[in-house]
Structure 1
Amino acid sequence: MPISKPHSTLGATNTSSCIDLAMYLEKENNDLDKLLQKTNSISKKREIESRKQFFFSHSKNNISTNEVISNIDSNIKKLGKTDAKYFAPTINFSPQELKYMLQIVSNRKEVKNIWELNNKDYVHFCDKIKEYTKVIMTNYAKNFNRENKGLKSGKDLVYFAKIEHFRKFKGTDKEVINGDYKVGDFKPGINSHVHIIVSRKDKTQRLKLTPITKERSTTRTIGGNTYHVGFDRMKWINMNEKSFDDFFHYKRRERERFNNQYILKNGSPKEKEALLKEIEIKEQSIEKTKHHAKNYTRNTSKGRSW
């Protein structure tokens, strides 16, 4: 399942400017610049340059870091000095999801490394992630239950996102502890994910939006005015999972579903045992259906006279 986490920050304080976070998200392009300096091949330089990623919003691509900082930092009407000014959600795909996404954009059975994609397929892959990110941010907006206040989709938010394709090992990773890799080494395989900077205020600057609130969904009445507050993070993840399956036409296995993964990780022994039995029955039923359909197609094909 694509895990969407509404972080408050990524190591920076979110009560002031987003400049530190925005500059931090330049790290992958900085690494590509280092690669550029190590090659003299014109064709290789072009390939490396074409792999750089820039910020995008709900309506625009190739946004500069300065524009991101300016827009987020100025969208703070009526926020106090110690109030959160922005949040930093991330979208992290499972290995199965990444494998499937790469298969459909490249028509290849397996892609082991992002560098294996030609430029056309690479752009297509990134474009699909951008489109899906916009769906996720519409889910984000809807999950605040403020449609009556004009918050209906991602276009009503002030947010900027950036795709990253690489991850590095940290000192806490078991591969580093075991001595297989060093801190700062690139992790092997496909590691594409998305970082988002989203303003605390909506585009009109009338609404305060807090995705890390403990309240999931609450209706309040103050001064005769009734309004809705809260953000259900579990609901958001489930919405994003369904959106992924619909958007990419992904046939998700029962064991991959977020609700099932959550129970298998956090449920009681009895709950886990019952769920595993239920999953087994469902998967056996699906396999029988596939087997029957395959045999039916084969048998009807034999009987054709053309």
Structure 2
Amino acid sequence: MYITITPQQTQGNFSQSAADYVAYLEKENESLSPPEQEHFFNQYGDKVTAEQVIAEIDGNTKKLSKHEPKFYAITVSPSKAELRQLKDHSKDLKAYTRELMKAYAQSFHREIHGRPPNIDDIKYFAKVEHQRYFKGTDREVRENQPMASKILELQHQKRRIQRGEEAGNLNLIKERIAQLEKSAPHKLEGKRIVQGMAKPGHQTHVHLVVSRRDASNSVSLSPGSKYRASEVMLHGKLVKRGFDRDQFYTQAEKVFDANFGYQRNFVEQYHSRKLMVQNPKLYYSTILGLPANEKALALKLLGKSGVHLPQIPTNKVQLALRTIKALKRGVEVAIKSGSIGI
């Protein structure tokens, strides 16, 4: 499971309206017939219009300055293995999102009218999407980049020749471009994978638009708070503050696993990613110390994520520092590109 929480910004400034983001989320519907289209939904409704989403999010910003985020975008991206566990991607992910947002509310260390926040305090709208596109950070795009750069250079040369700015053989340039296209390490249906190309297979995920203010428009609920769980005196009153991301991400996995019977491997767990950052040697030692079948699956998952796997020692005595370093480099690259769903 790969979950991101981000304040929406445009050219360094926080978006003053959810309109642009909602329009972006509606694009997938443009090529679909009405029965195939996905609608916005929230905790209690399945067919919320884009206009209602914009009106409710934009109208729930009391006391927020233009220098503060008005809403947060949350993206929930199940891995391919997690998607295989679902019977109906759209229906199951809607149900999961509703349970996930209960955990979101419970992760705030705040009080609303003297009580902890609950799901009815969260104003959010969500939308299921079934397509994803290659990004510049994806392994396939990165490893194709040397070819892409050479092709671009040749295309520029071809245009200069066509404009009469330099001499050259257009047929030879076309042949060279064709050779480079053919030799690209990653292709999809015979075409070189480039940024913006649709990814193959099941890519279903969920986008959420979550108001910074609670549903009563009286309390600020910021998942981007730098405070975890603390209390501070404000206007002579002791006020709770903070959002526990560790709790939220951990609960996100537990909710999915419990609802869909998913057996989560060590490298798929949120706490293992934290361990990789905090204590990489222990992280890789733990992987190599897993039972044979779990270790094999862990290494397979890492390999599918684009991690270069060196020859793995057969026991802890043989565990070499160079092996740990090689694994660390590969996993860090995969996590940065978002290809490891943790």
TM-score normalised by length of structure 2: 0.66
Give the 3-state SS of the residue equivalent to 2:102 in structure 1.
helix
Give the 3-state SS of the residue equivalent to 1:146 in structure 2.
coil
CA contact (8 A) 1:15 1:82 kept: no
The one-letter amino acid paired with 2:265 is R
Matched residue, 2:214: 202
Matched residue, 1:131: 95
Matched residue, 1:5: 4
Residue among 136, 149, 156 paired with 2:121: 156
State yes or no: 1:227 paired with 2:227.
no
Q: How far is the alpha carbon of 1:152 from its aligned partner?
A: 3.3
Change in 2 beyond 3 A, CA 1:96/1:155:
same
Give the 3-state SS of the residue equivalent to 1:28 in structure 2.
helix
CA contact (8 A) 1:10 1:21 kept: no
CA root-mean-square deviation: 2.3
**Aligned partners of 1:55 and 1:165: how far apart in 2?**
14
The one-letter amino acid paired with 1:175 is E
The one-letter amino acid paired with 2:81 is Q
Change in 2 beyond 3 A, CA 1:241/1:164:
same
Give the 3-state SS of the residue equivalent to 1:220 in structure 2.
strand
**Aligned partners of 1:157 and 1:268: how far apart in 2?**
36
Matched residue, 2:39: 54
Give the 3-state SS of the residue equivalent to 2:267 in structure 1.
helix
**Aligned partners of 1:168 and 1:204: how far apart in 2?**
37
Q: How far is the alpha carbon of 1:219 from its aligned partner?
A: 1.1
Q: How far is the alpha carbon of 1:208 from its aligned partner?
A: 0.4
Q: Percent identity?
A: 33
Change in 2 beyond 3 A, CA 1:10/1:246:
farther
Matched residue, 1:20: 20
CA contact (8 A) 2:14 2:67 kept: no
**Aligned partners of 1:205 and 1:63: how far apart in 2?**
20
Q: How far is the alpha carbon of 1:279 from its aligned partner?
A: 3.0
Q: Which runs of 4+ in 1 moved over 4 A?
A: 10-13, 281-284
Matched residue, 2:159: none
CA contact (8 A) 2:16 2:66 kept: yes
Give the 3-state SS of the residue equivalent to 1:26 in structure 2.
helix
Structure number, greater radius of gyration = 2
**Aligned partners of 1:198 and 1:239: how far apart in 2?**
18
State yes or no: 1:66 paired with 2:51.
yes
Q: How far is the alpha carbon of 1:205 from its aligned partner?
A: 1.2
Range that drifts further, 228-237 or 193-202: 228-237
Change in 2 beyond 3 A, CA 1:167/1:157:
same
State yes or no: 1:271 paired with 2:271.
no
String of CA shifts for 1:69-100, please: whole Å, max 9, x gaps.
00000011122232211111111111211111
The count of corresponding residues between Structure 1 and Structure 2 is 246
The one-letter amino acid paired with 1:133 is T
What are the equivalent positions in structure 2 for 1:1-306 lying under 5 Å apart? 2-9=1-8, 13-32=13-32, 48-101=33-86, 105=87, 124-147=88-111, 149=113, 150-177=115-142, 178=144, 179=184, 180=187, 181-264=193-276, 266-280=277-291, 283=294
User: 5+ residue gaps in structure 1?
Assistant: 33-47, 106-123, 285-306
Q: How far is the alpha carbon of 1:160 from its aligned partner?
A: 0.3
The one-letter amino acid paired with 1:220 is V
**Aligned partners of 2:137 and 2:235: how far apart in 1?**
51
The one-letter amino acid paired with 2:286 is L
Q: How far is the alpha carbon of 1:261 from its aligned partner?
A: 3.5
CA contact (8 A) 1:91 1:194 kept: yes
**Aligned partners of 1:132 and 1:240: how far apart in 2?**
9
Give the 3-state SS of the residue equivalent to 2:290 in structure 1.
helix
**Aligned partners of 1:147 and 1:3: how far apart in 2?**
28
**Aligned partners of 1:14 and 1:261: how far apart in 2?**
29
Give the 3-state SS of the residue equivalent to 1:72 in structure 2.
helix
**Aligned partners of 1:273 and 1:100: how far apart in 2?**
27
String of CA shifts for 1:18-61, please: whole Å, max 9, x gaps.
111010101111233xxxxxxxxxxxxxxx54221110011111
Q: How far is the alpha carbon of 1:230 from its aligned partner?
A: 0.9
